[in-house]
Amino acid sequence: MAEFSSILLEKAVDELAKLPGVGRKTALRLALHLLNEERVATESLSQSLLNMRNNIVLCKKCYNISDNEYCSICSNIKRDNELLCVVADMRDVMAIERTGSFNGLYHVLGGVIDPINGISPNDLRINELVNRSINENLREIILALPATIEGDTTNYYIFKKLGHFEGKITAIAKGIAVGDALEFADEVTLGRSIANRMPFNR
Amino acid sequence: MAEFSSILLEKAVDELAKLPGVGRKTALRLALHLLNEERVATESLSQSLLNMRNNIVLCKKCYNISDNEYCSICSNIKRDNELLCVVADMRDVMAIERTGSFNGLYHVLGGVIDPINGISPNDLRINELVNRSINENLREIILALPATIEGDTTNYYIFKKLGHFEGKITAIAKGIAVGDALEFADEVTLGRSIANRMPFNR
């Protein structure tokens, strides 16, 4: 772009414009905002992004993002560790935590079975879930996957894999609009769909 | 926010949400995007922001942002150095450069006279402009300030200060919508308003 008299500014705009939903005009506005602020603002932003990217790990137990070996939910002794909620994505953990309706632990699959996009059961943490169903003293496993065909497929696949499991297997109520991802459901609807969970329907 | 299982993520979201037009939901989306990308993406973004903020300076001649002592416009020998365009802001330089209608040099005032917001002539680079009108061999000075009351006030103030100047003093044509800032004008309108500039009307 010929209008940039500074290569440093142009490079910063290029990088900002790579973020999702950020066009070049917005990127320029953000860059000029940082130029107008004190240096410490840019340093604080950059450092927090680097700290996040370089130090966040996946919890060894539930595969949610975590600052330590085990995440703050898995290591919270006040949570009900006999109740396990299976979700596709870490954003679903956040969405359910926001409802305040669930006090158990999570298992983050890392997606749902989706052959069209090349995601097979082996790409997900389903074996890890089976291991937890054997090694942990769980009384109930709640399937909280998206209300899509892929989510349903994954539900059935997991249900078959958990044939040995003697506790209850439930799925969140289809109170959330069919076809929607969990993270976009409103908190009341999502909270109720957890409260009204039903025995898994073969 | 209780839903964050990671303090590192929460801190990154806090910092991103300080940017103009970025709410907490958008900030979270940006942070998760960076977590999904390779580390080098975050490093490249952070480094480019730091490089920009720490190394960009103001051109010693025109006060546009610059990577060196003199900006790429001032040091371009192909530009017409007898023609000077006075603008309020560095974004106005970009807007005019985008039109491709101007091949002279710039002088960035750093704002316009605006008593209500406490901006007096001494806060602007008007003395520096007067010095340039004396020391440089200019045949024309184009006033390209916003078409607002404050812009008009600044035009008159500068015109008075340039009483000694023997070249032409012009103002960009009021082709741009009155009340609008230059950076939001479309390129054709802004380009024409430069082409149709008229002798300054006392």
Which chain A residue is nearest to residue B71, measuring alpha carbons?
A5
**Model confidence at A1, in pLDDT bands (50, 70, 90)?**
very low
Residue of B5, B15, B35, B51 to mutate, interface with A, max A Cβ within 10 Å: B5
- Residues 52-81, chain B, touching A (beta carbon < 8 A): 52-56, 59, 64-67, 71-73
- Calpha distance A27→A13 (Å, rounded): 5
What is the pLDDT confidence band of residue A183, given thresholds at 50, 70 and 90?
Answer: confident
pTM score, whole prediction: 0.73
Q: Distance, in angstroms, between A60 CA and closest chain B CA?
A: 14
Q: Which of 157-186 (A) contact B at CB < 8 A? A: none
Residue A51 has pLDDT above 90, yes or no: yes
The pLDDT of residue A81 is 92
Question: How high is the mean pLDDT of chain A?
Answer: 88
Burial (0-12, 13-18, 19+ Cβ within 10 Å), A41:
middle
The per-residue pLDDT for B81 is 92
How much is the pLDDT for B190? 77
Residue pLDDT, tens place only, B35-48: 989 999 999 999 99
Q: Report the pLDDT averaged over residues A53-64.
A: 92
Quick check: A25 contacting B, CB < 8 Å? no
B52, B13, B45: which is closest to A18 by C-alpha? B45
Give the pLDDT band (50/70/90) at residue B19.
very high
Is the pLDDT at B6 greater than 50? The verdict is: yes
Token pair belonging to A108: 């983050």
Q: Rounded mean pLDDT of A66-88?
A: 92
3-state secondary structure chain A: CCCCCCHHHHHHHHHHCCCCCCCHHHHHHHHHHHHHCCHHHHHHHHHHHHHHHHHCEECCCCCCEECCCCCCCCCCCCCCCCEEEEECCHHHHHHHHHHCCCCCEEEECCCCCEHHHCECHHHCCHHHHHHHHHHCCCCEEEECCCCCHHHHHHHHHHHHHCCCCCCEEEECCCCCCCCCCHHHCCHHHHHHHHHCCEECCC
Question: How do residues B112-139 score in pLDDT, each as one tens digit?
Answer: 999 999 999 999 999 999 999 999 999 9
Testing the interface with A: which of B39, B48, B96 to mutate, by most A Cβ within 10 A? B48
A53/B34 Cβ within 8 A? yes
B104, B136 contact by CB (below 8 A): no
- Indicate yes or no: CB of A8 within 8 angstroms of CB of B55: yes
Q: Quick one: pLDDT band at residue B171, thresholds 50, 70, 90?
A: confident
Q: Which two tokens stand for residue B118?
A: 């406490």
pLDDT in tens, A110-120: 999 999 999 99
Cβ contact A52–B9 (<8 Å): yes
- The band of A23, judged by pLDDT with boundaries at 50, 70 and 90, is very high
Mean of the pLDDT values across residues B89-93? Answer: 89
Q: Cβ distance A197 to A173 under 8 Å? A: yes
Mean pLDDT of A144-173: 89
Query: In this predicted structure, what is the pLDDT of residue B1?
Result: 43
Which residues 89-128 of chain B have a CB within 8 Å of chain A? 90-91, 93-95, 97-98, 100
pLDDT computed for residue B199 by the predictor: 72
CA nearest B10 in A: which residue? A52
Lowest mean pLDDT among A55-59, A194-198, B69-73, B79-83: A194-198
Cα A130 to Cα A144: distance, rounded to the nearest angstrom = 16
| Residue B202 in this model has a pLDDT that exceeds 70 | no
Higher-scoring residue by pLDDT: A181, B87: B87
| The pLDDT value given to residue A39 | 92
Among B9, B46, B49, beta carbon nearest to A56: B9
Contact residues, chain A, for B68 at CB < 8 Å: none
pLDDT bracket for residue A173 (50, 70, 90): confident
- Å from A199 to nearest chain B CA? 27
Percent above pLDDT 90 for chain A:
61
Q: Which residue of A has its CA nearest to B48?
A: A12
B49 with A34: Cβ contact below 8 A? yes
Which of A84-88, A98-102, B18-22 comes out lowest in average pLDDT?
A: A98-102
- Tell me whether residue A127 is exposed, middle or buried, using C-beta atoms within 10 angstroms of its C-beta: 0 to 12, 13 to 18, 19 or more: exposed
The maximal CA–CA distance of chain A, rounded, in angstroms, is 68
